[in-house]
Each structure stands twice: as structure tokens, then as C-alpha cells.
Amino acid sequence: MNSRLLNRLAISLIVACAVVMVGTLAALLGYILYQGVSQISWSFLTSDSSAFQAGGGIKNQLWNSFYILFITMLLTVPLGTAGGIYLAEYAKQTRFTAFIRSCVEVLASLPSIVVGMFGLLVFVNYFNWEYSILSGAVALTVFNLPVIVRVTENALCSVSEEQRAAGLALGMTQWHTIKKVFLPAAFPGILTGVILCAGRVFGESAALLFTAGLSSPNLDFTNWNPLSANSPLNLFRSAETLSVHIWSVNSVGIIPDAKEVAAGAAAVLVISVLTFNLVARLLGRIVEKKMTGK
Amino acid sequence: MSPLCPVYTIKSRKGVCKMAFKGQQDSLSLASKTGGRLIREGFSFKNILQKNGELRGKIIILTSAFFIIAATMAITLFLTLQGLRAFTVDGINIIDFITGTEWQPNRDGNPSYGALPFIFGSFAVTVLAALVAAPIGIASALFMTEIARKWGQKALQPVIEILVGIPSVVYGLIGLSVIVPFIRSQTGGLGFGLLAGAIVVGIMILPTVTSIAADAIKSVPDDLRHASYALGATKWQTIYKVIIPAALPSLLTAVVLGMARAFGEALAVQMVIGNARGIPDSLVDPAATLTTIITLSMGHTTSGSVLNDVLWSLGLILLVMSYVFILIIRYLSKRRKLS
Amino acid sequence: MIAQLKEKPVRSAQHQSEKQSIVLGINGVNVYYGNNHAVKNVSMPIHDRSITALIGPSGCGKSTFLRTINRMNDLIPGAACDGEIMYDGINLLNRKIDVVTLRKEIGMVFQRPNPFPKSIYENIVLSLKFAGIRGKKVLNGIVEESLKQAALWDEVKDRLDQSALSLSGGQQQRLCIARALALKPKVLLLDEPSSALDPVSSAKIEDLLLTLKEQYTIVIVTHNMQQASRIADSTAFFYEGEVVEYNDTTMMFTCPANKRTEDYISGRFG
């Protein structure tokens, strides 16, 4: 075949693939939002879910999703950034570091359902936390730690090596240099990474099935005593999140309006994740601009 | 000339030096008092403060390192111990388990635990998903890096990032409400099956494959491209003969990483695969994977029962496979460094 | 020339004594990177309130030697050294030296400007705060003083809160010098401070160093022989890790004692 013709054909094919990809995203978002947004109403967002009747809402699931997200980030961010600092700044090319790197790699590639099983065995059964917010959040921490570690490490590595010499030559200790120079400089990168990671945690489901559970007590939003059984703040109650709810109404649920509830919940989920994405980019850009003065 | 002849070696970049002294040791005490401020003292208040800053930092950091190691070890250890119980405690033959095709855990008197249908299902979904994602992903990466360098990146990067962010249950829901009915209308069957699973998971891993492939292609040096164009090659010839071979190990890494994700995906697959118990006859027959059977059965078993142990064995297979994927990726990256 | 080294390093009374008092008495310093013997038996005096230039072809060990003086080489894994650098009566290569305090007294400026990605003001006060200097008035005073010393004050006094990265390369380098001066060091080490800058900024740095010489002891590594001849009082020529010749700059450039020095200075190699 004529090489010019082949060239044109191949390139058209490549362009077509790119179009398929963009088209997939457009179709996906379009479908979810088109199907779902009409389901979203004030009462859908603010009423309890129902076990077998039509007309249930997603109030508790929505709250649970945010609460688990909050607890998870509370645990993951300090641990993850510290791990990232260690790998980027203190440890270079020793056997111990190589081992930690391997561990990060293994944790990052574990299927989330395996993490869920581990959570079931250790947190739910062995520690006897039962199906609870805490079990779920700790399982998600295990799952997300490597992501934050990598985010931090990459952000720190992009800060120039010369800054380190500068800090030390000015008679500061290494920790002080990291704290006052490296971390602030890497902050936009870490922030963006953390928020994107939050989006992932928000949508995570498989690891939560066996740890946070498939049900949620009807929460009493006037009761903020964290020790009371149906308080929204209670760490030791079971908590079905939004994404688990979408799965459960479709797979194991019996409510007649499963399709509508799932569509509405999916739309809320996707809108939240998109918001995380948008906020991450905007914040990252704003902070970056402020710091470099450009 | 001072008799002092110190030799010091620096162990690491932590700023800690270990020195071996030859000759006279304590000429420091003879040192002038004026330079005394430069000498590290054991118990000066300032010293302790400074040291503590450094120490505190190290403690925080090492806690995290410890946690990462502990979590990895614990998961590996617990899953292995639990996963082997079926063979060591319950006396199931490991060969029968892996090659058996009958999954009848609740059959009275003669339960049978053949995991082959699930193992087959997992591999089938993974390979098919890679077949869906690899061509589209690599082509999109080529589009971003070779064809529309200026705006391709700007246009596709956000698409990739949003696709990565969409939760897997949403992909499952789309599969359930769009892809399954579509297959049903085309083939007349149920619509649930390997094909639906592969399409859903294929789309899911598409952004992973694309972004890693794009990085791989970007790292091919421009010199190679210029050399090829200078010889009169067309764009496609350059891509096919120069860029793809040069980036091949990294492109394979991209596909393998996608497959690793596909292998472990649970809920999205469960929603569209049909959850049968046997090996499917065709792509559109209902099937099951390791993850789907765990998803569905784990909650109904009591800890310590045979079924529970067997499910842990399936989990162990998932774990082993994720190690295998890591080894493959390492092998590929070693090849990348060599070439 | 080596004769001067025979005299015992004298404890210098800073900023008071006559010019010839020795601040750093360097005696038989060796630096190794693993098996690579990077600096071989270097000896020379560094005089108070003078500029000493270290010249030589790339890879001759002059930067390594400079970094040994304030122990920045500690950061490089596998680096080791012996010999003595007598400063204020003690050997800086000693194990018990508190490198953090040492680096406050012997400051360093690097080849490429490396301000912190923070405001101009923050760049200067960061190390001061770590050194325990408090109080807004005191800090403001030091910032102004050191920026003036670095001839940068007039250019930045209205935008101290702006990011240091918004400055030009030459301004950034002067900020780095100001930052080092803020700690009131005794010695300032400069590692090719103007090689990354344009000729105008470079000239400004040279003028600045000549002014700073009145108060500080300066050791500068440079590739640029014209620069060395313009500003340095004494010059040491490094070749393959050794000091081939150390002399008064004028002497060195007019009648070099060593053939290799002559070849290098006249541009026959390097």
C-alpha cells in the first residue's frame, strides 16, 4: 500500500480512538447527570433511605460518605505526608528504603476488596470494632496511604535540590529546612494530590462492604453525642456510604425504585467527585500563584 | 603542626558523621575557649531544643514508615494464614480446589469447592478488558503526544483525570443500565456476562493505560523522531518503526498496570457479569470472578466455617496475583533500564 | 609560597587586627569520594578581610574543597576527609564540631541563585528565626541592613512581601548573599556566584564583593580568571586536586612560578 495512504489511514484511526475516549467520558457524564439530576430533590437528599418501599432518600449515606472521608483523611494525610517526606528527604537508596518502597508498591496495587477482607478480619472481628465508621476509615487509610505517600514524595522531589543546600548553609537543621522550606514549596502539589485522593476515597466501595457495612441506623441529627448509638458522630456504628448504597440497591436490595435511587445517588456521587476535581485544580493553581508571585 | 589527625567518614546524608580518630584524642580540650561555641556539647539547652526538633521530625517520619511496613506485612501474613486454612485445617485438596469446576458449597453432605470458574472468569475479564483498553489507550496517548502535541495534551489530560476519578460503582451502574441491555438486544441472551464485564472494566482502566502510555511516549527522545523524519519517514512510519519499539517496555507496563486494576475490581464487575457458578460457554453467558464470589458470599459466612476459609483462599489468589503483577512490572522496568 | 603555612595558625581576633591575620589555617586537607581522591593535601592560609580566589579547570577539586570548609560535604554519602582547617583555635574537621553553628559563622552562596520560594523578607528572616532571633523590630533592622549590604535594598524595599522568585537572576543571587550576611558570618564562601548570571549582574556582584571585603573574609571559587584578577587579593590555582600554586593575585598573574599555572592563566588549557 502507498505509504502516504497508510499514514493517513493510521492517523485517522488514532484520532478516532482519541475521539472514542472523549466521547466515552461525555456519554458517561451526560447519561449519569441526565438520568440522575431529575431524581435529585431536597427531600431525596434529606430523607432516610428505605429498606423495601419506594421513595427513600440518601441523607444518611451522604453524611456517612463525608464522615468516613473526613476520618480517613485525618488518619491518612499526616501518616502519608510523613512517609513521603521520609522517602524524599531522609532516606536514599538503602535497603530499608527499598523495602519501604516495595511496601508502598504492594499496598498501592492491592485490590480494594482484599483490603476490605483484611479489615473484616482484623478491625471488625479481631479488634471487635464491628461494622463501623472506624473500621471502614482505617481500612481506607491502609488503601490510600500509598497514594498520599507518592503524592508527597513527588511534590517534594520537584522542589529543587539546591534549596536543601541553601537551608543547611544558613545554619538550619534538616528538619527545619523541610518544615519551613520544602513543605511550603511542595504544598500546592500535595494539596492537589490530597483532594484528588479524597475524591477516590469518596467513591470507594469494595473496601467498605465488609468494614463499614451495608446498613446504617437512622441517624438523629439533633443528637451530637458521639457515644450515642444513632448519633451522626458515633464512630462505632455501621455506616453504608453513598457508593455502597448504589451497589446494594442494585445487587442485593429489594426496593421497587432501585433504578431511580441509584441514578440519583450516582449523580450526587459524580457531582461530588467532579467538585473535588475542580476544587483541587483551582486551589492548587491559586496557592501556586500566590507562592511564586507569577 | 598539630598532632591531631582525625579521619571521619560520613555515613549518610542525615548529617551524622562518624569519625575515627588516629593519634591524640582530646586535643579539643586544649582548644581555645574562643572556638568553644562551635563544639557540640552534651547538655546545652539550645542543643537539646535543636536536637529535639530533628528528633521529633524523625519520630513522626519513622512512625509512618513503620505503619506502612506493618500494614503490608499484616495483610500478607493474615491473608496467607487465613487463605491456607482451607487446605491445612479443612483438608481440601489444593489441586482439586484450583482445577475443580463445581462450586456447591451448600450441597448437603457433599459440598464441592471448585474455584476454576472464578479463576477463569477473572483472567478472562482481565485479558478482554486489556484488549479493549490497550488499543484505545495507546492510540489516545499517541494522539496526545505525537499528533496534536499542542492541544491534545490539554484536551485529553482533564478527560483522563475525570475518568480516573469516577467511582467504580458508577461504571458498574452504567454497565447495568446501558451496556447489559444493549448486549441483550443484540444477542438475545441475558446480556450479563464476560463481555459486559470486560467492556465496563476496559473503560475503567482506559485512563490508567492512557496516562502511563503517554508518559512513556513522551520520554522517547526527540532526536529519534527527528532522525526518522530526516530519513523521509511518514508520521505513521515514525510511530510504528521508531516510537513504539523505543517505548515498548513502558507501554507494556501501562497495560499490565491496567490489568492489575482489572483483576482486582469487584463491585463494577459483580453488577454486570451475571454471577453464574460454572465456566461460561460464550462471552455473553453469565459468569463469575474471584472478586464477585467473594463480594456476594463473604457477608453470609461465619468466620471459621469451611466456606469462609475457601473464600479466604480465593482472596489469597487475588493477593498472589497482585504480587505477580508487581513482579512483571519490575521485570519490565528492568528491561526498560537496560534498553 | 607554602612557607607561610609553616607558621602556626594564629587565633584571629575578628574585625580588629591587621589584615594579615589568618582566619582559616588550612593544613594538609584531603577529601575522598569513595575511592576518588578529590582533594590532595591542600594547605593555604585564608587571611582576614581579604578575598581569596580558587581557580582551576573543572573537576579540579576547588568546589569540593570550598564545601569542606563549612562541612557541606557531610551531605554527600561516601565522602570522607582528613587534615585540619584551624578556625578560631579549633579544627573544623573535628567530629565534635556543631555543623549547624559552624555554618552560621561560615556562610555559603552557591553557583545558581537558590532563594527559597517565599517572600523576600521571609528568605532573610527564616534562618534568623531558627537562630533564635526574635522581635519584629530587630528582624526588620537586620533585613534592611543586610539588603543594604548586598546592594539590593533600593530595588526591593517596596516589595519585601513579594515572592523572591519574582526577582531577576542577579537580584536573586544578591538576595542569597544578603541572606547569608544576615547571620553575620565571619567568612563567606562563594561557589562561582556569578557564573549563572549576565555580565551586568556579574559586575554588580563583583563590586559588591569588593565592598564586603571591608567587613568579611571571602573565599570565592571562580572559573573566570579575569574575575579573580580583578577582585582577589590572593589566588590559589587548583589542578587535579592539588594546589599547584598559591600566591598574591598580582604576583600570580604577572609572574606565575609554575609552568602549569602559566599555561592555565594564558589559556593554553582548562
DSSP string, chain A: --HHHHHHHHHHHHHHHHHHHHHHHHHHHHHHHHHHHTT--HHHHHS---SSSS----HHHHHHHHHHHHHHHHHHHHHHHHHHHIIIII--S-HHHHHHHHHHHHHHHS-HHHHHHHHIIIIIIIS---S-HHHHHHHHHHHHHHHHHHHHHHHHHTS-HHHHHHHHHTT--HHHHIIIIIHHHHHHHHHHHHHHHHHHHHH--HHHHTTT-S------TT---TTSTT-TT-TTS----HHHHHHHHHHT---TTHHHHHHHHHHHHHHHHHHHHHHHHHHHHHHHHHHHT-
Å between A291 CA and nearest CA of chain B: 24
Is C86 in Cβ contact with B2 (below 8 Å)?
yes
| Domain extent listing, chain A | 38-292
Is C183 in Cβ contact with A170 (below 8 Å)?
yes
Q: What are the pLDDT digits (tens) for C74-124?
A: 777 778 888 989 988 888 888 788 888 888 899 999 988 889 888 899 999
Residue B136's pLDDT is what? 95
Query: What's the whole-number mean pLDDT along residues B216-239?
Result: 90
Residue B35's pLDDT is what? 67
Q: Which residues pair with C55 in a beta bridge?
A: C237
d(CA B176, CA B155): 29
Tell me the chain A residues in contact with residue C130 when contact means C-beta distances shorter than 8 Å.
Answer: 170-173, 176, 180
Q: What are the pLDDT digits (tens) for B212-221?
A: 999 999 988 8
In which band, very low, low, confident or very high, does the pLDDT at B3 lie, cut at 50, 70 and 90?
very low
User: What stretch of H or E contains C237?
Assistant: strand C234-239
> Residue B241: is it exposed, middle or buried by C-beta count within 10 angstroms (0-12/13-18/19+)?
middle
In which band, very low, low, confident or very high, does the pLDDT at B50 lie, cut at 50, 70 and 90?
low
Question: Using N-to-C axis directions, what is the helix angle for A95-109 and B306-338, rounded to 10°?
Answer: 120
C-beta of residue C188 within 8 angstroms of C-beta of residue C216: yes
Nearest residue of chain A to residue B274 (CA atoms) = A251
Tell me the chain B residues in contact with residue C88 when contact means C-beta distances shorter than 8 Å.
Answer: 32, 34-35, 38
In which band, very low, low, confident or very high, does the pLDDT at A293 lie, cut at 50, 70 and 90?
low
Q: What are the pLDDT digits (tens) for B272-321?
A: 998 888 888 888 889 999 999 999 888 888 888 889 999 999 999 999 99
Helix %, strand %, coil % for chain B, to 5?
A: 70, 5, 25
Q: Is any Cβ of chain A less than 8 angstroms from the Cβ of B173?
A: yes
Is C84 in Cβ contact with B4 (below 8 Å)?
yes
Q: Is any Cβ of chain C less than 8 angstroms from the Cβ of A286?
A: no
Query: What's the whole-number mean pLDDT along residues B236-254?
Result: 91
In which band, very low, low, confident or very high, does the pLDDT at B338 lie, cut at 50, 70 and 90?
low
DSSP state, B274? B
Tell me the chain B residues in contact with residue C86 when contact means C-beta distances shorter than 8 Å.
Answer: 2
Q: What are the pLDDT digits (tens) for B60-116?
A: 888 888 999 999 999 999 999 999 999 998 888 888 888 888 888 877 778 888 899
Q: Is any Cβ of chain C less than 8 angstroms from the Cβ of A159?
A: yes
Å between B37 CA and nearest CA of chain C: 8
Tell me the chain A residues in contact with residue B162 when contact means C-beta distances shorter than 8 Å.
Answer: 25, 29, 274, 277
Say what percent of chain C tops pLDDT 90: 35
User: What stretch of H or E contains B92?
Assistant: none
**Hey, what's the cell of C200?**
551586568
Residue B31's pLDDT is what? 43
d(CA B126, CA B140): 20
The number of beta carbons lying within 10 Å of the beta carbon of residue A110 is: 25
Q: Which CATH class is domain B112-338?
A: mainly alpha
Nearest residue of chain A to residue B294 (CA atoms) = A113
**Hey, what's the cell of A208?**
467498605
Q: What are the pLDDT digits (tens) for B180-194?
A: 999 999 988 888 999
Is C87 in Cβ contact with B35 (below 8 Å)?
yes
Residue A69's pLDDT is what? 94
Is A251 in Cβ contact with B139 (below 8 Å)?
no
For residue B339, pLDDT over 70 is answered with no
Q: Collect all residues from C whose CB is shorter than 8 A from any CB in A.
A: 70, 72, 75, 77, 100-104, 107-110, 112, 114-118, 126-127, 130-131, 162-163, 165-166, 176, 179-180, 183
Shortest CB distance from C82 goes to which of B7, B34, B46? B7
DSSP state, B151? T
d(CA B250, CA B244): 10
**Hey, what's the cell of A25?**
467520558
For residue A93, pLDDT over 80 is answered with no
Residue A221's pLDDT is what? 83
Shortest CB distance from A106 goes to which of B14, B72, B239? B72
Is A169 in Cβ contact with C180 (below 8 Å)?
yes
Nearest residue of chain A to residue C182 (CA atoms) = A170
**Hey, what's the cell of A210?**
465488609
More confident call, B330 vs A217: B330
C-beta of residue C45 within 8 angstroms of C-beta of residue C25: yes
Tell me the chain C residues in contact with residue B27 when contact means C-beta distances shorter than 8 Å.
Answer: 91
Q: What are the pLDDT digits (tens) for A25-77?
A: 999 999 999 988 888 888 888 888 877 777 788 888 999 999 999 999 999 99
For residue A236, pLDDT over 70 is answered with yes
C-beta of residue C31 within 8 angstroms of C-beta of residue C39: yes
Query: What's the whole-number mean pLDDT along residues A188-213?
Result: 89
Is the Cα dihedral B292, A134, A263, B200 positive or negative? negative
Residue C52's pLDDT is what? 94
Q: Which of residues 41-100 of B touch C (CB under 8 A)?
A: 46-47, 50
Between chain A and chain C, the number of residue pairs with CB atoms below 8 A apart is 83
Shortest CB distance from B34 goes to which of C88, C95, C99? C88
Residue B10's pLDDT is what? 35
Residue B23's pLDDT is what? 34
Is B40 in Cβ contact with C78 (below 8 Å)?
no
Span A38-292 CATH architecture: Orthogonal Bundle (1.10)
All CATH 1.10.3720.10 domain ranges in chain B, comma separated: 112-338
DSSP state, C9? P
d(CA C49, CA C90): 20
Shortest CB distance from C126 goes to which of A165, A180, A291? A180
- Among A33, A106, A174, A28, residue whose Cα is nearest residue B162: A28
Is the Cα dihedral A50, A56, A60, A61 positive or negative? positive
Q: Is any Cβ of chain A less than 8 angstroms from the Cβ of B133?
A: no
Q: Which CATH number describes the domain made up of C3-9+19-114+185-265?
A: 3.40.50.300
Residue A159's pLDDT is what? 82
- Among B83, C127, B135, B116, residue whose Cα is nearest residue A17: B135
Tell me the chain C residues in contact with residue B7 when contact means C-beta distances shorter than 8 Å.
Answer: 80, 82
Is B1 in Cβ contact with C27 (below 8 Å)?
yes
- Among A143, A114, A277, A263, residue whose Cα is nearest residue B164: A277
- Phi/psi region, residue B290 (left: phi>0; alpha: psi -120 to 50; beta: rest), is alpha
What chains are in contact with B, requiring at least 3 Cβ pairs below 8 Å?
Answer: A, C
Å between B339 CA and nearest CA of chain A: 22
Say what percent of chain B tops pLDDT 70: 85
- What's the residue count for chain C? 270
Å between A197 CA and nearest CA of chain C: 26
In which band, very low, low, confident or very high, does the pLDDT at B7 lie, cut at 50, 70 and 90?
very low
SS3 C266: coil
**Hey, what's the cell of B173?**
451502574
**Hey, what's the cell of C191?**
561557589
Q: C-alpha angle with apex B138: B134 to B139, nearest 5 degrees?
A: 115
| Cβ partners under 8 Å of residue B330, min gap 6 | none
In which band, very low, low, confident or very high, does the pLDDT at B47 lie, cut at 50, 70 and 90?
low
Interface probe with C: pick from B8, B38, B51, most Cβ of C within 10 Å: B38
| Domain extent listing, chain C | 3-9+19-114+185-265
Is C93 in Cβ contact with B8 (below 8 Å)?
yes
d(CA B26, CA B18): 16
For residue B15, pLDDT over 60 is answered with no
d(CA A272, CA A243): 12
Q: Is any Cβ of chain C less than 8 angstroms from the Cβ of A287?
A: no
Å between C202 CA and nearest CA of chain B: 32
Shortest CB distance from C90 goes to which of B17, B18, B32? B32
More confident call, B4 vs B294: B294
pLDDT < 50 stretches in chain C: 1-19
